[in-house]
Structure 1
């Protein structure tokens, strides 16, 4: 795996875990929620901008994206 891809994967895992912590979800539950409500697709699409923000901002952005796509966590 090249370094750029490794950094992207590490960042996405970090975001999944931070999202889970904020909403008291396990990593598996957070992954499933983000997958279902398009949060992971957002992270992949917007990685270049998102990874330059704080993790707090990234989790806020994920919350907004998931809510727009039918998610119920607030």
Structure 2
């Protein structure tokens, strides 16, 4: 049985990769962007809600969070 931490890490990886695909970034660049503009902190803080949504909805939320913190991808 997987721990909650393992589930979170797996979810973060899915989100990073889905974000990367949407914006044609490498996974590394996607992570760096999300980290720089607060997306990773958002995923950590709101995991309990966000993991129940589709990845498309989560990416839309990440776009909004990052934009509010100076991000430029839309």
Q: Once the 2 structures are TM-superposed, how far is the Cα of residue 3 of structure 1 from its aligned partner?
A: 1.2
Q: Which runs of 5+ in 2 are unaligned?
A: none
Q: Once the 2 structures are TM-superposed, how far is the Cα of residue 42 of structure 1 from its aligned partner?
A: 0.1
- When normalised by structure 2's length, the TM-score is 0.96
- When normalised by structure 1's length, the TM-score is 0.96
Partner of 1:15: 15
Moved runs in structure 1, 4+ residues, more than 4 A?
none
Q: Once the 2 structures are TM-superposed, how far is the Cα of residue 12 of structure 1 from its aligned partner?
A: 0.5
Partner of 1:6: 6
CA RMSD of aligned residues (A): 0.7
Aligned positions, number:
73
- Looking at structure 1, the residues matched to 20 and 64 of structure 2 have their Cα atoms a distance apart, in angstroms, of 15
- Looking at structure 2, the residues matched to 44 and 32 of structure 1 have their Cα atoms a distance apart, in angstroms, of 15
